Chain A
Amino acid sequence: MTEPLLSVRDLKTQFFTEDGTVRAVDGISFDVYEGEIVGLVGESGAGKSVATSSILRLVDSPGEIVGGEIEFKGETIFGLEEDGAGELRPRDEMLTESEMRKRIRGREIAIIFQDPMESLNPVFTVGGQLREFIEINRDLDPDEAREEAIDMLREVGIPAPESRYDEYPHQFSGGMRQRVLIAMALACQPDLIIADEPTTALDVTVEGEILEMVTDLQEKYDTSFIWVTHDMSVVAEICDRVNVMYLGEIIEQAEVDDLFYDTKHPYTSALLDSMPRPDKTVDELRPIEGVMPEAINPPSGCRFHSRCPEAREVCREVHPDLRDLSDEGAATHTGACVKHDAFDVGYDDSPAIETQTGSGFSAGLTETGGEAE
């Protein structure tokens, strides 16, 4: 395969709070290639959003990127090296803050935020904001930018863009505002768009339209996407490859079909099982029991062991890294669960441990998940 557009290696972002260090993103690595939609999936608090703002270097104090490397089109967005005294310092080729602002943010990497209601400035007209954004990032004069803004509004399916151009955000419905935000992201024809749960705040019918629109536009402009979501159905709909995150770590990486039909990690299967489906009643739904532990003191061993239906004693001790679990000849499929042979730490001989999941559910899960192995 060709060089990745964006490559993230061992990224670590931490928040230094009074209660301790929150390891929000704890050594994740993934690639985004040209023209693909990469999913970043996980529960609330898994570190998805922090990971995306780290890519744009927008992490605010008390948060800080403490390690790892981010390369984008051969340029170093983030990278550290040791100086003579053994202290870490930013590498020389790392882009400066103003280079990030002028060249990367908005122009090369755009971001679509979760809440369309809040992401537009209420005191300016929609068109004015879009125009300003185009002006800044494409060096057009105001009139050209206005033309371009109206074109973009039309492109994302806003009816009568000429008259809606002069309206304020509160005069738009949620779906319309999300379209405006997508127009804004696409306006500068960036190579990569980070969509941070863009459809979470919308109802399902609007979500469907937006997803369809994004797929169309993605084909037209050949933009790469990082699609952050907790909704597996959205993932199935649009993603090419998926990274599943749990507590700051990526625990499974696969092409979308492999992830759904050949799930390697119990957390991923739990996510899939907790998805409401028309062929299941509420009683048959299997929510993931418990809540995600705090990232200040992540559990020892496998971080998911406290909630994992398949957890055994060994899971408390061994912290699994991502290993290649793909079948021969198939596309790369990595996972971080010691139940797979690739780890060979004695999972099969280890006794099961009591978890928060309760007996009823885990029995069923162990059967299905375990047999697949």
Chain B
Amino acid sequence: MATETDSATDGSTDTEGTGAGEVEARVGLRYTLRQVKRDTTARIGIYTVGFITLVAVLGSLDYYVFDYGVAEAIWYSPVQDPEQVRRLLPPVGMENQYGQGTLEHPMGTDHRGRDILGRLFYGTRIAITVGFMATAIGLVGGTLIGAVSGYYGGWIDDVLQRVTETIYAIPFLVLVIAFMTAFGRDLSFAMIGVGITSVPVFNRLIRSRVVSVREEDYIEAARAAGVKDRNIILRHVIPNSFAPVLVQATLQIGVSILIVAGLSFLGFGAQPPTPSWGQMLSASRNYMLPAPTFSLFPGIAILITVIGFNILGDGLQDALDPRINN
């Protein structure tokens, strides 16, 4: 085959010789990220989520490796009661009936005299872990069920869809609380419970894409090439149906954090003295009038985190939508 004919055929795309490097690839993580960054709001989302995740990572590091050693060395013990108990101090520069805020506790102290900033810091770790783990459970479960269901169709589809719809029909909070009552009030069961309630969301989302993707010629081609069904689903069907799921996952992280905070508020999930935002809110509700800032800061932390993930999700959605790109 002569090369001149090849370049003629090839004229519509990049000319031969230019590698992938010179052509802006419209796929891949890097491209998507660049696309997200182009949008100001989405950029705010990325930075917020990035910051919160960083805080969570630092918190975990300190917790697992140094057992709060770093925080104690630099500042103050965030969890244990201090020797000198200064309860319900307001933030710096403010005053309430219990006294005046000090630089030692920039956000004040709680009803046991613990530093609120410190507890918020370590609460991030729990929020992020819960958000990611619960979403991961829902994502993996929902994607597999939805992909298998959509790919095979027929009775397999019917059975799987009816089962997940049954889960969907039960109000999720009731379901999670029932689940935790049965298995334990532990934080890990909160994650699993919230994860399970999000399975139907991912399932429906990916199934609707799989139903159209499975009709594509490359799926037929893979079958004709003797590829196993399992590999077709994992390597061809799921990657091509994944974009909306990714967006949903980002949003779901925010939702999961909110739900688990709500559960902790109700007394399910993180148990005292573990510093979790929901449980801090729960403790603060008795001191609403004398120390309003006690409930304010965990509330703001939850708000910022959830909004951060939502903005990021929206940005991803735009970035992954080819109609908007072009």
Contacts and interface: CB of A to CB of B under 8 A. Distances in A.
Contacts of B5: 209
A105 B218 contact: no
Contact of A119 (B3, B6, B20, B221): B221
A120 B219 CA distance: 9
Contacts of A181: 221
Interface residues on B, range: 35 or more
A16 interface: no
B217 A115 contact: yes
Contact of B16 (A120, A124, A160): A160
Interface in B253-309: none
A136 B20 contact: no
B84 interface: no
Contacts of B14: 171
B7 interface: yes
Contacts of B1: 156-157, 209, 213
B171 interface: no
A118 B216 contact: yes
Contacts of A156: 1
Contacts of B185: none
Contacts of A114: 217
A136 B222 CA distance: 11
A170 B27 CA distance: 10
Contact of B6 (A105, A123, A158, A168): A158
Given A168-B27, A213-B1, A173 B240 contact: no
Nearest to B227: A136
Interface string A277-293: 00000000000000000
Contacts of A163: 17, 19-20
A155 B148 CA distance: 37
A111 B218 CA distance: 12
B228 to A, nearest CB: 7
A215 to B, nearest CB: 12
Interface in B191-235: 216-218, 220-228, 235
B239 A113 contact: no
B25 A168 contact: yes
Contacts of B226: 100-102, 104-107, 136-137
Nearest to B11: A173
Given A105-B224, A158-B6, A167 B17 contact: no
Interface string A93-115: 00000001110111100110111
Given A61-B154, A118-B216, A168-B27, A56 B224 contact: yes
A168 B282 CA distance: 53
A221 interface: no
B200 to A, nearest CB: 25
Contacts of B235: 121, 124, 132
A58 B3 contact: no
Contacts of A209: 1, 5, 9
Nearest to B6: A159
B325 interface: no
B67 interface: no
Nearest to A100: B226
A156 B225 CA distance: 19
A301 B8 CA distance: 50
Interface string A204-230: 011001000100000000000000000
Interface in A155-183: 156-160, 163-164, 166-168, 170-176, 181
Given A123-B240, A168-B27, A111 B224 contact: yes
Interface in A112-143: 113-115, 118-124, 132-133, 136-137
B27 A58 contact: no
Contacts of A173: 9-13
B38 interface: no
A175 B223 CA distance: 23
A184 interface: yes
B182 interface: no
Contacts of B239: 121, 123-124
A329 B11 CA distance: 51
Interface in B60-90: none
- 5 tightest Cβ-Cβ pairs between the two chains A and B: A157-B1, A105-B226, A106-B226, A118-B217, A175-B9
13 contacts: A53-B224, A105-B223, A105-B224, A106-B226, A136-B225, A157-B1, A159-B10, A163-B19, A167-B20, A168-B25, A172-B13, A173-B10, A205-B9
